Amino acid sequence: MKYILAIALSLIFFATLTAQRIKDDQVKVIEFSGMVFTEGEDGSPVPLPYTNVSVLGTSRGTATDIDGFFSFVALAGETVVFSRIGYKTVNIKIPDTLQSHQYKWIQIMTEDNYLLPEAVIFPWPSRDHFKQEFLAIDISNELREKARENLAEEVLSEMRYTVPADGRETTSLVLRQQANEYVYTGQIRPQNIFNPLAWKKFIEAWKRGDFKSKEKKN
C-alpha cells in the first residue's frame, strides 16, 4: 500500500511539473493597438490612414482607419511591419517579456520618394527607322489642301457647336455652375437685364450671328 501511494504521489508531482512547464512555454497572446502618424505641412503630426499593419511572415494584420488607429491580436515576440505606398517601411518587434495582455504603440511614418528611370517611347524600333518613315511621308498638294480645309475658320466654328465636350470639360462646367449657385445661396439672384456686361456679350453674339439658324448660315 505504501508503494502504491508513493507511486501515485510521484505521478501527480511529475504531472504538475509538466503542466507548469507547458504553461510557461506557451506564447502570450496580446492585443496590439496604437496609432500611426506622419508629418503634416506645418510640421505637426497628423494621423496616417490606410496604413498596412501586418505580422511578418503571416497573413494576420489590419489597416489603420481614417484616424490612424489600428488594433488586432498578436503574439509576444512577433515582428510587426508598418507599410504604405509613398512611405518608408518600418519593422518593430513586440517584446516577449510583457506582463500585460495589451501592448500599445505609436508609429511615425516618413515619406519615401521613388525616382523612376526616364522612359522614352518611340513608335519605331530605332532612329534610323524613324528617319526612313519620316522621309517617306506623302506631302502632296492634295494633303496640303485637305489640311487647309480642316483648319478653315468656318469648319472650326462649326466644330465648336457639334463636337461633344469630353469628361474634363463637362466636369469643369458642372463645378463652375455649382460655384455660381453657392455664391447666391440664401439670397435672390441679380437680374442680368440690369447687367451691362451681359448686354455687351449679347450684342457681340448678335453681331457674330450666333442666334441665326444653321440653315440661314448656309
pLDDT, tens digit (0-9, with 9 covering 90-100), for 173-200: 888 888 877 776 767 766 767 777 888 8
Which residue range forms the structural domain that includes residue 14? Answer: 2-109
86 lies in the same domain as 17:
yes
> Would 115 be classed as within a structural domain?
no
167 lies in the same domain as 199:
yes
> Would 46 be classed as within a structural domain?
yes
> Would 118 be classed as within a structural domain?
no
105 close to 95: Cβ distance less than 8 angstroms: no
Q: What pLDDT shows up at residue 4?
A: 54
Single pTM value for the model: 0.44
Least confident span in 1-5, 110-114, 209-213: 1-5
85 lies in the same domain as 175:
no
Which of the 8 DSSP states describes residue 207? H
- Span 37-63, mean pLDDT? 91
Report the SS3 class of residue 13.
helix
Q: How confident is the model at residue 27 (pLDDT cuts 50, 70, 90)?
A: low
> Nearest Cα to 75, choosing from 94, 91, 100?
94
Count how many domains the chain has.
2
Q: What pLDDT shows up at residue 107?
A: 94
In Å, how far from its chain's centre is CA 100? 37
> Nearest Cα to 70, choosing from 92, 100, 47?
47
168 lies in the same domain as 211:
yes
Domain of residue 66, CATH code: 2.60.40.1120
Q: What values do phi and psi take at 216, rounded to 5?
A: -70, -35
Greatest Cα pair distance, the chain, in angstroms, is 126
Beta bridge partners of residue 44, listed in sequence order: none
Assigned C-alpha cell, 45: 503630426
Which of the 8 DSSP states describes residue 111? B
Q: How confident is the model at residue 12 (pLDDT cuts 50, 70, 90)?
A: low
87 lies in the same domain as 163:
no
132 lies in the same domain as 105:
no
Q: What digits encode the pLDDT tens for the residues 99-153?
A: 888 999 999 999 987 777 887 777 778 878 888 887 777 777 777 788 888 888 8
Q: What digits encode the pLDDT tens for the residues 56-93?
A: 999 899 999 999 999 999 999 999 999 998 899 999 99
